[in-house]
């Protein structure tokens, strides 16, 4: 589907503030040293696409007033998640806390002259055309102080479906945390009085220890000079979308020895993409290249954390290699590097990260010659965000045709289906135009000596293009 050429208009109403439906505590909520990292001080875009059900059993849902339904559910949900209605403040030393002032979250009502079928129907996947019209963007997106922690836009579609776009402040929660909030919102929209899981703050549980104990090298925070790296213009960056089903993954596994066959799909794809991407960009042989892996520590913490604890609980270990070693060695070399750093993440690693933040003043993760990956395939159940009169067909990152400064170096792995209903892993990737051509050729040569990559290229007149391809089994 030629998404880049799809153009539609969105008519927006004036923004309004939605406040909690009932009085909430006026207090200060402190962030943990994990929440307070410099690299989390931005708003994360997320998008959900809903289609209208043919038949709805929810008597409480007013199917023709979806904006009213979502506004009421949002106000009711904020009674429980009232910190979202507050504002961030900075205290001496640069640390942040939330002032729970019930000032509200920003809400925008909109209408788009497009039907869900034009966006993919049951097989919706990024990149999304006209994304900037479906998400509210604050005028000064870098100023996170004194502005809403949550921006919500509900855009009605001509078919009766709608798009729920939001930007949430990353210091308040991670992807799992925002899913918990959206799940609560959906439950209330379906008629529940309160969420099935009540939110718990308790951020002190992940604060730095006294005294701090930095137990790991944490090379993700290395200070790396970037005088050799020239960042590409975003105007020259193109987006391609990769789909990996069971046949494609079986083909890749033929490249790794028996003792590594226990690797996960995420580990295998990360090693493979990192290697191909490095070759395509063409770094100098002696330079170090890196892949940062977003690893959730949920389920890895020895300490008992309360149910409903919607904090940031993600570590960012990094695998490091010289360009020469990465591309001259077989795929198993990159795979072992990825597996070793990913499997080293545990509660001690997360607490060591909190201690490092306290000691070193919350440094940013290095972005020099770095590829970022995150596994979003298990980010909650789509049925959990069903609102009764509408069911979700996509719930995931809001990735557009145009790359952004935050996301052009990263690839989220998304659970999705292709256009013939085959389930698999969907991976969008951004690269400079020339590097993308080399990337596709390298992938093709790795998978099979005979060309088997089928590409559907958009016309050269399109500034950004979408390619969906399948890799045949060996």
Q: 379 with 176: CB under 8 angstroms? A: yes
pLDDT reported for residue 406: 60
**189 belongs to a structural domain:** yes
Per-residue pLDDT at 382 exceeds 80: no
Q: How far is it, in rounded angstroms, from Cα 146 to Cα 75?
A: 20
Per-residue pLDDT at 61 exceeds 60: no
Q: In terms of residue numbers, what domain contains 293? A: 228-377+400-448
**282 belongs to a structural domain:** yes
pLDDT reported for residue 258: 95
Q: How far is it, in rounded angstroms, from Cα 8 to Cα 163?
A: 14
pLDDT, tens digit (0-9, with 9 covering 90-100), for 323-375: 999 999 999 999 999 999 999 999 899 999 999 999 998 999 999 999 999 99
Bridge partners (DSSP) of residue 242 are: 427, 469
Pairing state between β 16-18 and 87-90: unpaired
Indicate the pLDDT class of residue 38, thresholds 50, 70 and 90: confident
Active-site residues, by number, are 170, 386
The Cα angle at residue 222 between residues 218 and 225, in degrees rounded to 5 = 170
pLDDT reported for residue 355: 96
Residue 417: strand, helix, or coil: strand
Count of domains forming the chain: 2
pLDDT reported for residue 145: 87
**454 belongs to a structural domain:** no
DSSP state string for 329-362: S-HHHHHHHHHHHHHT-SHHHHHHHHHHHHHHT-
Q: 95 with 357: CB under 8 angstroms? A: no
Same domain, 361 and 442: yes
> Per residue, what are the HEC states of 441-455?
HHHHHHHCCCCCCCC
Same domain, 21 and 95: yes
Same domain, 62 and 150: yes
Least confident of 144-148, 206-210, 259-263, 440-444: 440-444
**48 belongs to a structural domain:** yes
Count Cβ atoms below 10 Å from residue 165 Cβ, excluding itself: 24
Q: How far is it, in rounded angstroms, from Cα 256 to Cα 57?
A: 50
CATH number at residue 282: 3.30.559.10
**223 belongs to a structural domain:** no
**432 belongs to a structural domain:** yes
Q: 395 with 48: CB under 8 angstroms? A: yes
Percentage helix, strand, coil for the chain under 3-state DSSP, each rounded to 5: 30, 25, 45
Per-residue pLDDT at 158 exceeds 70: yes
**128 belongs to a structural domain:** yes
pLDDT, tens digit (0-9, with 9 covering 90-100), for 405-423: 666 788 999 887 766 667 8
Same domain, 170 and 284: no
Count Cβ atoms below 10 Å from residue 65 Cβ, excluding itself: 12
Question: 122-146: b or e for each residue (b if 16 or more CB lie within 10 Å)?
Answer: ebbbbbbbbbebbbbeeeeeeebee
């Amino acid at each position: 589907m030629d998404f880049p050429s799809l153009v539609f208009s969105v008519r927006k109403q004036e923004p309004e503030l939605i406040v909690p439906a009932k009085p909430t505590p006026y207090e200060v909520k402190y962030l943990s040293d994990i929440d307070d990292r410099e690299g989390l001080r931005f708003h994360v875009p997320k998008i959900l696409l809903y289609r209208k059900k043919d038949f709805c059993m929810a008597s409480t849902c007013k199917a023709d007033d979806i904006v009213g339904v979502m506004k009421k559910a949002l106000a009711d949900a904020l009674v429980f998640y009232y910190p979202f209605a507050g504002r961030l403040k900075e205290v001496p030393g640069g640390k942040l806390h939330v002032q729970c002032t019930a000032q509200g979250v920003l809400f925008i009502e909109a209408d788009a002259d497009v039907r869900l079928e034009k966006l993919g129907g049951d097989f919706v996947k990024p990149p999304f055309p006209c994304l900037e019209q479906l998400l509210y963007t604050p005028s000064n997106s870098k100023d996170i102080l004194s502005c809403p922690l949550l921006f919500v836009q509900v855009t009605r579609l001509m078919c009766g479906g709608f798009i729920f776009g939001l930007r949430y402040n990353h210091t308040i929660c991670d992807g799992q945390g925002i899913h918990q909030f959206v799940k609560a919102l959906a439950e209330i929209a379906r008629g529940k009085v309160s969420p099935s899981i009540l939110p718990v703050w308790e951020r002190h549980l992940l604060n730095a220890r006294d005294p701090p104990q930095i137990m790991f090298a944490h090379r993700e925070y290395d200070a790396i000079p970037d005088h050799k790296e020239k960042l590409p213009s975003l105007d020259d960056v193109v987006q391609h979308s990769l789909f990996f089903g069971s046949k494609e993954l079986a083909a890749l596994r033929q490249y790794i020895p028996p003792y590594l066959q226990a690797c996960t799909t995420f580990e295998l794809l990360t090693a493979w993409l990192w290697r191909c991407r490095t070759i395509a960009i063409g770094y100098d042989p002696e330079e170090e290249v890196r892949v940062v892996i977003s690893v959730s520590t949920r389920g890895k913490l020895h300490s008992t954390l309360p149910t409903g604890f919607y904090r940031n609980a993600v570590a960012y270990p990094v695998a490091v290699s010289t360009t020469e070693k990465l591309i001259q060695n077989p795929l198993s070399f990159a795979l072992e590097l990825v597996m070793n750093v990913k499997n080293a993440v545990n509660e001690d690693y997360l607490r060591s990260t909190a201690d490092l933040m306290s000691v070193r003043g919350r440094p940013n993760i290095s972005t020099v010659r770095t590829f970022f990956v995150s596994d979003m395939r298990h980010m909650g159940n789509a049925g959990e965000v069903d609102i009764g009169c509408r069911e979700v067909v996509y719930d995931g990152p809001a990735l557009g045709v145009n790359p952004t400064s935050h996301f052009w170096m990263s690839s989220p792995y998304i659970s999705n289906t292709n256009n013939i209903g085959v389930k698999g892993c969907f991976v969008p990737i951004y690269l400079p135009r020339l590097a993308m051509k080399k990337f596709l050729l390298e992938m093709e040569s790795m998978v099979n000596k005979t060309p088997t990559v089928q590409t559907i290229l958009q016309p050269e007149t399109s500034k950004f293009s979408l390619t969906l391809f399948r890799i045949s089994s060996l």
